[in-house]
């Protein structure tokens, strides 16, 4: 059987970090309110003329460097984003061109904050079925461009950034569960909740880009339950329990969601990677950005069992269990 192994990891944050205090000069909010409700202290904001593709390309280059792999070995690029450069073509094709790749395929995935988990799961399926061998999975966002900066209930929560991994196929024995690579993936969605978190524009409906709208309390209510249940299903699929997990790398939306989820499935909070304070919610970029921080801090060790999860608009949610 073919298993997808993470061979390289790269991240990129725009240079400019905006603190809560800076935001409070323009929006009726305070550092105290934001930190208490969300754990966010600052977020990075892309410079004028800096697009989602630019962040994605930089993260992808760093991931390829980390893997020691020439870009031309990549035969699939999956870019998770809700803030593409253009309605079409896929921003993944801009990344492909910038990296000098002319073979294989490149496409975008739209699952909002769950995008990276959806991308990893899709890449895993391509690798397992033999349709791809070396896949770049990227989460990249410029959410600052779809925020209503008059809406204090949403504009304080999000930030820009990108993260990427290189996944490669490795042949392993069916019973090999101790080896590295992706062990289990679960994706879910429930479109009944599509109006709880959405953008109020689009090419087919308004011919405008629109702004992010959210019923924060409703999202919060569903987040802990959905995330905990999909994590549990993923652990069961792999035949392991929450206490076996060495590192939990969740989507970074809100510190209170992370605390609630860890409590619900009985995960030691010391094993949770937390970057929401420095990055805010970077949507599809948040999980690979958090992986990058964990790697920098030496918290990702070979052989570690790592659980990733995310939930976002749709609602969409999912989890991936892998051995580092
Ligand atoms: N600064 C100061 N006051 C604010 C701000 C702000 N930035 N935003 C809202 N308020 C005020 C409101 O106006 C309201 O005032 P009022 O009582 O006078 O009417 C009060 O604070 C409470 O507002 P709520 O919206 O009820 O605040 P809540 O406690 O629900 O916190 C929050 C809001 C932080 C958005 C919370 O609902 C939340 O975290 N929800 C989850 C949303 C999320 O994480 N979304 C990310 C995308 S989905 C995902 O990634 C999982």
The catalytically annotated residue of 185, 251, 254, 279 is: 251
Q: Are residues 280 and 156 in the same domain?
A: no
Q: Are residues 307 and 233 in the same domain?
A: yes
> Which run of H or of E encompasses 230?
helix 216-238
Q: How many domains would you assign to the chain?
A: 2
Tell if the pTM clears 0.85, that is, is over it: yes
Ligand 1 mean position to 150 CA, how many Å? 14
> Which run of H or of E encompasses 53?
helix 52-67
Residue 238's domain comprises 181-323
Residue 273 falls within a domain, yes or no?
Answer: yes
Tens-of-pLDDT digits for all 324 residues of the chain? 999 999 999 999 999 999 999 999 999 999 999 999 999 999 999 999 999 999 999 999 999 999 999 999 999 999 999 999 999 999 999 999 999 999 999 999 999 999 999 999 999 999 999 999 999 999 999 999 999 999 999 999 999 999 999 999 999 987 777 789 999 999 999 999 999 999 999 999 999 999 999 999 999 999 999 999 999 999 999 999 999 999 999 999 999 999 999 999 888 999 999 999 999 999 999 999 999 999 999 999 999 999 999 999 999 999 999 999
Q: Are residues 79 and 203 in the same domain?
A: no
Helix 255-265 × helix 216-238 angle, to 10°: 40
Q: Are residues 105 and 134 in the same domain?
A: yes
Q: Which of 111, 196, 251, 254, when mutated, tests ligand 1's pocket best, judged by the most ligand atoms within 8 Å of its CB?
A: 254
Cα–Cα distance, 125 to 119 (Å, whole number): 10
Q: Are residues 21 and 165 in the same domain?
A: yes
Helix 255-265 × helix 31-38 angle, to 10°: 20
The ligand 1 atom at the shortest distance from the C-alpha of residue 254 is 44
Q: Tokens standing for 250?
A: 């969740």
Residues with CB under 6 A from ligand 1: 29, 33-34, 37-38, 113, 152-153, 156-157, 197, 214, 216-217, 219-220, 223, 251, 253-254, 281, 311-312
């Amino acid at each position: 059987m073919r298993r997808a192994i993470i061979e390289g990891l790269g991240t990129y944050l725009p240079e400019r970090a905006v603190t809560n205090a800076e935001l409070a000069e323009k929006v009726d909010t305070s550092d105290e309110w934001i930190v208490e409700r969300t754990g966010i202290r600052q977020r990075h904001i892309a410079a004028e003329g800096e697009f989602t593709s630019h962040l994605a390309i930089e993260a992808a280059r760093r991931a390829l460097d980390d893997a020691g792999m020439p870009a031309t070995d990549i035969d699939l690029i999956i870019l998770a984003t809700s803030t593409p450069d253009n309605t079409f073509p896929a921003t993944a094709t801009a990344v492909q061109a910038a990296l000098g790749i002319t073979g294989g395929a490149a496409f975008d995935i739209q699952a909002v904050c769950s995008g990276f988990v959806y991308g990893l799961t899709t890449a895993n399926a391509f690798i397992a079925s033999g349709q791809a061998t070396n896949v770049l999975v990227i989460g990249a966002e410029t959410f600052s461009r779809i925020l209503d900066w008059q809406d204090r209930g949403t504009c304080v929560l999000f930030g820009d950034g990108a993260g990427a991994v290189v996944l490669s196929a490795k042949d392993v024995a069916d019973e090999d569960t101790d080896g590295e690579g992706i062990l289990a993936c679960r994706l879910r969605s429930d479109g009944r909740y599509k109006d709880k978190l959405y953008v109020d524009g689009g090419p087919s409906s308004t011919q405008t880009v629109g702004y992010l709208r959210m019923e924060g309390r409703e999202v919060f209510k569903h987040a802990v339950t959905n995330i905990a249940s999909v994590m549990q299903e993923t652990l069961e699929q792999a035949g392991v329990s929450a206490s076996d997990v060495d590192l939990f790398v969740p989507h970074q939306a809100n510190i209170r969601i992370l605390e609630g989820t860890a409590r619900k499935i009985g995960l030691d909070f010391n094993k949770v990677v937390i970057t929401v304070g420095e990055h805010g919610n970077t949507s599809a970029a948040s999980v690979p950005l958090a992986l990058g921080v964990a790697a920098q801090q030496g918290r990702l060790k070979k052989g570690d069992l790592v659980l990733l999860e995310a939930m976002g608009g749709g609602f969409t949610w999912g989890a991936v269990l892998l051995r580092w």
